[in-house]
Amino acid sequence: MEFKFDKNGNRDFLVKAKVAIIVGYFYQNIGDKLLSAAQETLARYGINVNNINVFYAPGAFEIPLLAKKLASQQLSGKNLYDGIVALGAVINGETTHFEFICNECARGVADVSYQYEIPTAFGILTTNNMEQTIGRAGGYKGNKGEEATMAMIEMLYLMQQVDTQTF
């Protein structure tokens, strides 16, 4: 048996889902473009707009802590959020600061997924310059906000399939 999310046949998949989006707001205009694409993607799969909570972190380094706090929230013994999408941008400068921020952000977001088994998507752009960043926030390379949100949706689907499979 194969398990794969049908992008055309699951337009109401998120009807009952609750999703948190974290936006690293150091580059506000980039964060806005990534967020807009993420919200549009969630809407495409039927989420109730009231079931999307958006949190603004000062920058990429702070995103994992906020993601961990959101993932740990429970309501009646069940995870409050079905999925988390982390968005933002880190642009390479003249020092090694870029590597430290990117590595810790990526590791932290991945750790949240592993620790809480909640699909937590990494939509933080890690680029060499502003041109590359703009290109990935709705420009010539698409919008990574949409791609990260789609990854979260597909993982949510797969996690549900794993939980309910029988032989």
Residue numbers belonging to the annotated binding site for (2S)-2-hydroxy-3-oxobutyl phosphate: 94-95, 136
Distance between CA atoms of residues 38 and 31, nearest Å? 10
Annotated binding site: 26, 60-62, 89-91, 94-95, 122, 136
Q: How far is CA 48 from CA 2, 17, 76, 122, 158, in A?
A: 29, 8, 21, 22, 21
The DSSP output letter for 12 is T
Positions at the binding site for 5-amino-6-(D-ribitylamino)uracil: 26, 60-62, 89-91, 122
Helices marked H in 18-167 — which ranges?
Answer: 28-44, 63-72, 97-116, 130-135, 144-164
From the list 7, 16, 69, 97, the catalytic residue is 97
DSSP classification of residue 51: G
- Can you tell me whether residue 41 is helix, strand or coil? helix
Question: Is 97 considered catalytic here?
Answer: yes
Dist. CA 157–CA 167, nearest whole Å: 19
Residues in the chain: 167
Would you please indicate which residues are annotated as catalytic (active-site) residues?
97
